[in-house]
Amino acid sequence: MRYVYPTGEEALKGIDLTIEGTDPVAIIGQNGAGKTTIVKHFNGILRPASGDVFINGENIQNRSTAQWSREVGYVFQNPDDQLFLETVRKEFEFGPQQLGISKKEINERINWVADIVGLSEKLDTHPFDLTSTEKKFCTIGAVIMMDPKILIFDEPTRGIDVGAKNEIYKLMNRLAAEGKSITISHDMKFVVRNFKRVIVMCKGKILLDGNAEDVFAQTELLKQSFVTPPPITRIAQGAGLKKTVFTTGAF
Protein backbone atom coordinates (compact mmCIF):
# COMPACT_ATOMS: atom_id res chain seq x y z
CA MET A 1 0.00 0.00 0.00
CA ARG A 2 1.24 3.48 -0.92
CA TYR A 3 0.06 6.98 -0.11
CA VAL A 4 0.99 10.23 -1.86
CA TYR A 5 0.05 13.66 -0.48
CA PRO A 6 -1.37 16.29 -2.89
CA THR A 7 2.05 17.99 -2.80
CA GLY A 8 3.48 14.89 -4.49
CA GLU A 9 5.30 13.68 -1.38
CA GLU A 10 5.18 9.88 -1.09
CA ALA A 11 4.42 9.38 2.60
CA LEU A 12 3.98 5.59 2.56
CA LYS A 13 6.21 3.51 0.32
CA GLY A 14 4.96 -0.01 -0.09
CA ILE A 15 3.49 -0.91 3.30
CA ASP A 16 2.69 -4.59 3.86
CA LEU A 17 1.22 -4.98 7.34
CA THR A 18 -1.23 -7.22 9.17
CA ILE A 19 -2.56 -6.44 12.64
CA GLU A 20 -4.65 -9.17 14.21
CA GLY A 21 -5.46 -10.66 17.57
CA THR A 22 -6.15 -8.67 20.73
CA ASP A 23 -2.71 -7.50 21.86
CA PRO A 24 -2.24 -3.71 21.78
CA VAL A 25 0.24 -2.36 19.22
CA ALA A 26 2.59 0.64 19.36
CA ILE A 27 3.87 2.45 16.28
CA ILE A 28 7.06 4.47 16.78
CA GLY A 29 9.60 6.37 14.67
CA GLN A 30 10.94 9.83 13.96
CA ASN A 31 8.73 12.75 12.91
CA GLY A 32 7.74 12.30 9.28
CA ALA A 33 8.24 8.53 9.37
CA GLY A 34 4.61 7.95 8.30
CA LYS A 35 3.08 6.90 11.61
CA THR A 36 0.05 9.21 11.58
CA THR A 37 -0.40 8.73 7.85
CA ILE A 38 -0.65 4.96 8.17
CA VAL A 39 -3.14 4.93 11.07
CA LYS A 40 -5.40 7.42 9.28
CA HIS A 41 -5.90 4.65 6.72
CA PHE A 42 -7.31 2.37 9.42
CA ASN A 43 -10.66 4.20 9.52
CA GLY A 44 -10.70 5.81 6.09
CA ILE A 45 -9.60 9.35 7.00
CA LEU A 46 -7.04 8.75 4.26
CA ARG A 47 -7.38 6.37 1.31
CA PRO A 48 -4.40 4.62 -0.35
CA ALA A 49 -3.03 5.93 -3.63
CA SER A 50 -2.40 2.30 -4.58
CA GLY A 51 -2.96 -1.00 -2.86
CA ASP A 52 -5.75 -1.94 -0.48
CA VAL A 53 -6.61 -1.64 3.20
CA PHE A 54 -8.93 -4.21 4.74
CA ILE A 55 -10.66 -4.18 8.12
CA ASN A 56 -11.99 -7.59 9.11
CA GLY A 57 -11.82 -8.59 5.46
CA GLU A 58 -13.72 -5.55 4.14
CA ASN A 59 -12.06 -2.93 1.95
CA ILE A 60 -12.10 0.53 3.56
CA GLN A 61 -13.32 1.95 0.25
CA ASN A 62 -16.71 0.32 0.91
CA ARG A 63 -17.68 2.73 3.70
CA SER A 64 -17.32 6.36 4.72
CA THR A 65 -15.08 7.44 7.58
CA ALA A 66 -18.19 8.13 9.68
CA GLN A 67 -19.36 4.55 9.13
CA TRP A 68 -15.94 3.14 9.98
CA SER A 69 -15.99 5.08 13.26
CA ARG A 70 -18.21 2.29 14.62
CA GLU A 71 -15.24 -0.04 14.18
CA VAL A 72 -12.19 2.21 14.63
CA GLY A 73 -12.00 5.30 16.85
CA TYR A 74 -9.26 7.89 16.41
CA VAL A 75 -8.02 10.23 19.17
CA PHE A 76 -6.14 13.16 17.66
CA GLN A 77 -2.78 14.28 19.01
CA ASN A 78 -4.05 17.83 19.61
CA PRO A 79 -7.38 17.92 21.51
CA ASP A 80 -8.22 21.32 20.00
CA ASP A 81 -8.49 19.59 16.61
CA GLN A 82 -11.25 17.36 17.95
CA LEU A 83 -13.30 19.44 20.40
CA PHE A 84 -15.99 21.75 18.99
CA LEU A 85 -19.13 21.67 21.18
CA GLU A 86 -20.26 23.77 24.16
CA THR A 87 -19.91 21.25 26.98
CA VAL A 88 -18.10 18.03 27.80
CA ARG A 89 -21.48 16.31 27.96
CA LYS A 90 -22.31 17.38 24.40
CA GLU A 91 -18.89 16.18 23.22
CA PHE A 92 -19.65 12.79 24.74
CA GLU A 93 -23.17 12.68 23.28
CA PHE A 94 -22.29 13.71 19.73
CA GLY A 95 -20.69 10.52 18.38
CA PRO A 96 -23.27 8.07 19.74
CA GLN A 97 -26.08 10.32 18.49
CA GLN A 98 -24.69 10.11 14.96
CA LEU A 99 -24.66 6.33 15.31
CA GLY A 100 -28.35 6.28 16.30
CA ILE A 101 -27.77 5.03 19.84
CA SER A 102 -30.72 5.57 22.21
CA LYS A 103 -30.74 8.46 24.67
CA LYS A 104 -31.02 6.02 27.57
CA GLU A 105 -27.90 4.12 26.51
CA ILE A 106 -26.02 7.34 25.82
CA ASN A 107 -26.73 8.58 29.35
CA GLU A 108 -25.59 5.26 30.79
CA ARG A 109 -22.38 5.46 28.77
CA ILE A 110 -21.76 9.06 29.84
CA ASN A 111 -21.78 8.14 33.52
CA TRP A 112 -19.37 5.27 32.92
CA VAL A 113 -17.01 7.11 30.55
CA ALA A 114 -16.93 10.32 32.60
CA ASP A 115 -15.89 8.27 35.60
CA ILE A 116 -13.03 6.42 33.89
CA VAL A 117 -11.61 9.61 32.32
CA GLY A 118 -12.04 11.64 35.53
CA LEU A 119 -14.52 14.22 34.21
CA SER A 120 -17.66 13.39 36.20
CA GLU A 121 -17.59 16.85 37.80
CA LYS A 122 -16.89 18.65 34.51
CA LEU A 123 -19.71 17.43 32.27
CA ASP A 124 -21.29 20.88 32.01
CA THR A 125 -17.97 22.69 31.51
CA HIS A 126 -16.96 24.15 28.13
CA PRO A 127 -14.09 21.99 26.78
CA PHE A 128 -11.93 25.06 26.18
CA ASP A 129 -12.19 25.87 29.90
CA LEU A 130 -10.56 22.54 30.76
CA THR A 131 -6.87 22.15 31.47
CA SER A 132 -4.73 20.68 28.68
CA THR A 133 -4.75 17.34 30.49
CA GLU A 134 -8.53 17.40 30.93
CA LYS A 135 -8.95 18.22 27.23
CA LYS A 136 -6.90 15.14 26.40
CA PHE A 137 -9.15 12.97 28.55
CA CYS A 138 -12.24 14.63 27.07
CA THR A 139 -11.22 13.62 23.54
CA ILE A 140 -10.44 10.09 24.72
CA GLY A 141 -13.81 9.89 26.45
CA ALA A 142 -15.65 11.14 23.35
CA VAL A 143 -14.17 8.31 21.29
CA ILE A 144 -14.74 5.65 23.96
CA MET A 145 -18.40 6.75 24.01
CA MET A 146 -18.84 5.21 20.56
CA ASP A 147 -17.48 1.88 21.83
CA PRO A 148 -15.35 1.11 18.77
CA LYS A 149 -13.62 -2.25 18.52
CA ILE A 150 -10.25 -0.54 18.00
CA LEU A 151 -8.98 2.73 19.49
CA ILE A 152 -6.11 4.64 17.88
CA PHE A 153 -4.25 7.12 20.08
CA ASP A 154 -1.91 9.64 18.47
CA GLU A 155 0.70 10.67 21.06
CA PRO A 156 -1.54 10.17 24.13
CA THR A 157 1.12 11.29 26.64
CA ARG A 158 2.33 14.40 24.82
CA GLY A 159 1.85 17.67 26.70
CA ILE A 160 0.69 16.18 30.01
CA ASP A 161 2.37 15.93 33.40
CA VAL A 162 3.63 12.83 35.20
CA GLY A 163 0.44 12.41 37.25
CA ALA A 164 -1.69 12.53 34.12
CA LYS A 165 0.62 10.06 32.38
CA ASN A 166 0.00 7.62 35.22
CA GLU A 167 -3.75 8.01 34.67
CA ILE A 168 -3.23 7.39 30.95
CA TYR A 169 -1.23 4.25 31.84
CA LYS A 170 -4.16 2.96 33.91
CA LEU A 171 -6.68 3.72 31.20
CA MET A 172 -4.53 2.16 28.48
CA ASN A 173 -4.08 -0.99 30.55
CA ARG A 174 -7.83 -1.19 30.98
CA LEU A 175 -8.37 -0.82 27.24
CA ALA A 176 -5.51 -3.21 26.48
CA ALA A 177 -7.26 -5.88 28.53
CA GLU A 178 -10.10 -5.58 26.01
CA GLY A 179 -7.70 -5.67 23.04
CA LYS A 180 -8.64 -2.18 21.90
CA SER A 181 -5.49 -0.14 21.45
CA ILE A 182 -3.16 1.00 18.69
CA THR A 183 -0.92 3.89 19.73
CA ILE A 184 1.58 6.27 18.16
CA SER A 185 4.13 7.49 20.69
CA HIS A 186 7.54 9.08 21.14
CA ASP A 187 7.46 8.13 24.85
CA MET A 188 9.50 4.92 24.97
CA LYS A 189 8.83 4.34 28.68
CA PHE A 190 5.13 4.41 27.90
CA VAL A 191 5.61 2.05 24.94
CA VAL A 192 7.57 -0.64 26.77
CA ARG A 193 5.24 -0.43 29.75
CA ASN A 194 2.06 -0.99 27.76
CA PHE A 195 2.78 -2.76 24.47
CA LYS A 196 3.99 -6.22 23.55
CA ARG A 197 4.16 -5.56 19.81
CA VAL A 198 6.10 -2.59 18.47
CA ILE A 199 6.24 -1.40 14.85
CA VAL A 200 9.08 0.97 13.93
CA MET A 201 8.61 3.21 10.89
CA CYS A 202 11.29 5.08 8.96
CA LYS A 203 10.81 7.28 5.88
CA GLY A 204 7.47 5.79 4.92
CA LYS A 205 8.47 2.16 5.40
CA ILE A 206 8.30 -0.41 8.18
CA LEU A 207 11.79 -0.85 9.61
CA LEU A 208 11.04 -3.31 12.42
CA ASP A 209 7.98 -5.22 13.59
CA GLY A 210 8.00 -7.62 16.52
CA ASN A 211 7.79 -8.00 20.28
CA ALA A 212 9.22 -5.12 22.30
CA GLU A 213 12.23 -7.07 23.62
CA ASP A 214 13.38 -8.04 20.13
CA VAL A 215 12.72 -4.61 18.61
CA PHE A 216 14.64 -2.65 21.25
CA ALA A 217 17.56 -5.06 20.99
CA GLN A 218 18.14 -3.83 17.40
CA THR A 219 20.00 -0.70 18.45
CA GLU A 220 21.71 0.00 15.14
CA LEU A 221 18.46 -0.29 13.15
CA LEU A 222 16.64 1.89 15.68
CA LYS A 223 19.16 4.67 15.07
CA GLN A 224 17.93 4.90 11.48
CA SER A 225 14.58 6.13 12.78
CA PHE A 226 16.13 8.15 15.62
CA VAL A 227 14.46 5.94 18.23
CA THR A 228 16.20 5.77 21.60
CA PRO A 229 15.40 2.88 23.99
CA PRO A 230 14.41 3.77 27.57
CA PRO A 231 17.34 4.79 29.86
CA ILE A 232 17.42 1.56 31.87
CA THR A 233 17.46 -0.43 28.62
CA ARG A 234 20.45 1.56 27.34
CA ILE A 235 22.30 1.07 30.64
CA ALA A 236 21.73 -2.68 30.45
CA GLN A 237 22.91 -2.78 26.85
CA GLY A 238 25.98 -0.74 27.75
CA ALA A 239 26.72 -3.17 30.58
CA GLY A 240 26.67 -6.04 28.11
CA LEU A 241 23.53 -7.76 29.37
CA LYS A 242 22.19 -10.14 26.75
CA LYS A 243 18.54 -9.79 27.72
CA THR A 244 16.63 -6.61 26.83
CA VAL A 245 15.26 -5.13 30.07
CA PHE A 246 12.78 -2.31 30.63
CA THR A 247 12.61 -1.99 34.43
CA THR A 248 15.08 -1.54 37.28
CA GLY A 249 13.78 -4.76 38.77
CA ALA A 250 14.56 -6.70 35.60
CA PHE A 251 18.00 -5.02 35.46
Q: What digits encode the pLDDT tens for the residues 22-79?
A: 788 999 999 899 999 999 999 899 999 999 999 989 999 999 998 898 889 999 888 8
Phi/psi for 233 (5° steps) reads -65, -45
CA distances from 95 to 51, 77, 82, 154, 191 (A): 30, 18, 12, 19, 28
Instruction: State the Cα–Cα distance between residues 166 and 235, nearest whole angstrom.
Output: 24
Q: Which residues neighbour 36 within 8 Å (Cβ) at sequence distance 6 or greater?
A: 77, 154, 184
pLDDT band at 135 (very low <50, low <70, confident <90, very high): very high
Phi/psi for 40 (5° steps) reads -70, -10
Q: Are 67 and 99 in contact (CB under 8 A)?
A: no
Radius of gyration of the chain (CA): 19
Instruction: State the Cα–Cα distance between residues 192 and 227, nearest whole angstrom.
Output: 13
Instruction: State the Cα–Cα distance between residues 228 and 29, nearest whole angstrom.
Output: 10
pLDDT band at 178 (very low <50, low <70, confident <90, very high): confident
Instruction: State the Cα–Cα distance between residues 64 and 124, nearest whole angstrom.
Output: 31
